[in-house]
Amino acid sequence: MYEYDAGFDRATPALVAAPGTAAETAAVVAACARAEVPLVARGAGTGLAGGAIAPGGVVVSTARLRRILEIDTESRAALVEPGVVNLALADALAPHGLLFGPDPASQRCSTIGGNIGNNAGGPHALRYGSVVQHVLGLELILADGTPCAMGGRAPDRAGYDPTPFVVGAEGTVGIVTKAWLRLLPRPEAVRTFLAFFADVESGAEAATAIIAEGIIPAALEMMDAPTIRAVNAAFEAHLPADAGSLLLVELEGPAEECEARHERIVAICRRGGATDIKAAANEEERALLWKARKLGYPALARLAPNNYLMDGVVPRTKLPETLRQVAVIAERYGLLVANMFHIGDGNLHPTLLFDAAVPGTTEKAIEASALILKHCVEVGGALSGEHGIGVEKNQFMRWVFSDADLDTMHRVRDAFDPSGRMNPGKIFPTDEPPRELPLERLKFRFAEDMWV
């Protein structure tokens, strides 16, 4: 099971270590340093970019580092270990009227350490931002086994603060063993509703109009027709079978403000051609609306033996054009495609559905995904909104960054890990991918052929 994460690539590690304390983690890292072998930190394995696979190296699992060490209600901060599952933290905070803003769709199983490594987002990133906005401080083990602390319980410390750099570094600079997290008060009121549209373009234009109106919902999600049909078939969600798309909108804040914004958004959706609007009357109904959204991926997984869940970002104004291009590319390669994504911040998650047992189909999916990401870059977007780069997109980094940019990034990383042994081969493009990763060799070739 340590050969792969939720992405495509796989490779067999030489050894797996599962330390139970920060001291044991430091000892493992120091042993790897003495032996001059590479190592990769791994959380729950829910990553989608191949960031936790280790061709021949040592995997350091953080699964046993799962204690919530402190909840400071006065400072609104929590000290946790990296193996704490998102949902376990949410449950522990609920009695205190507090929450941890980021809530990845994999909340039931993903861990804080993986969230930090990939700077995870999620449905509520539109309002709260991604993980980097919610990490106050870190304790990590450097490549030679030395513990290092940065930041802390108090926000906005003076001097250099490398904490935001470590968040999103995908384990290439050290292994996190503790994290101080910023906590938020639970909102006074929450309004959640679905708006249905005849097609994806209408829904996307309505979402853009909501933001243009100056309204920033807590969450603004979209599902297209194939995803709606899949959720209905798998879980009897009773969503309108003829809907071309749906927007899930959630508002948080003072009750009067939520009600006023709800009325404005409903009016915007009506003007944009909404065919129906369903609002949750209570917490139970709200949970059902979110369940329909969060069950989208398992519903799609029933449609084909294999799928490729992608992650790219485009400006909101480019969403209709990009969704049309995604459909064109999928059709060109004979692949089914479905879309469910964080439309509020332009974070797309096209899902390509196929059968890897058919010769050449995996290669088609890889090439189609590369074309989709290339389009995202060409319209002013980014390679990743929350899944990270890993080995999934490292060969495409030159589409976005110059050699000087990449050299600067390398020099900052080298300040933490001069040996380059911490999660090697991730994030940065390589001159030649390792033989153990045949899919990365494909991506390497596609990246060269599709040079921007």
- 417-445 confidence digits (pLDDT tens): 999 999 999 999 988 888 888 888 888 88
pLDDT at 259: 93
Tokens standing for residue 8: 């495509």
Average pLDDT over residues 120-141: 94
Tokens standing for residue 248: 């899930």
pLDDT at 307: 92
Model confidence pLDDT, tens digit, residues 42-62: 999 999 999 999 999 999 999
- Average pLDDT over the chain, rounded to an integer: 93
pLDDT at 154: 82
pLDDT at 236: 87
pLDDT at 452: 53
Task: Indicate the SS3 state at residue 116.
Answer: helix
Model confidence pLDDT, tens digit, residues 206-227: 999 999 999 999 999 999 999 9
pLDDT at 79: 98
Residue type, 296: G
pLDDT at 249: 97
pLDDT at 435: 81
pLDDT at 104: 87
Radius of gyration (C-alpha) of the chain in whole angstroms: 22
Topology of domain 68-185 in CATH is: 3.30.465
pLDDT of 134 > 90? The answer is yes
CA gap 219, 305 in Å, rounded: 31
Model confidence pLDDT, tens digit, residues 139-179: 999 999 999 999 998 877 778 889 999 999 999 999 999 99
CA gap 241, 412 in Å, rounded: 52
pTM: 0.94
pLDDT at 258: 94
Q: What percentage of residues in the chain have a pLDDT greater than 70?
A: 99
Q: Given strand 15-17, what is the order of strands in its sheet? A: 15-17, 58-61, 39-42
Topology of domain 304-449 in CATH is: Alpha-Beta Plaits (3.30.70)
Average pLDDT over residues 268-293: 92
pLDDT of 295 > 70? The answer is yes
pLDDT at 106: 85
Average pLDDT over residues 408-419: 95
**What one-character-per-residue DSSP string does 297-364 give?**
HHHHHTTSSEEEE--EE--GGGHHHHHHHHHHHHHHTT-EEEEEEBGGGTEE-EEEEE-TTSTTHHHH
Q: CATH class for domain 189-299? A: alpha beta
Tokens standing for residue 51: 């960031």
pLDDT at 451: 56
Residue type, 330: A
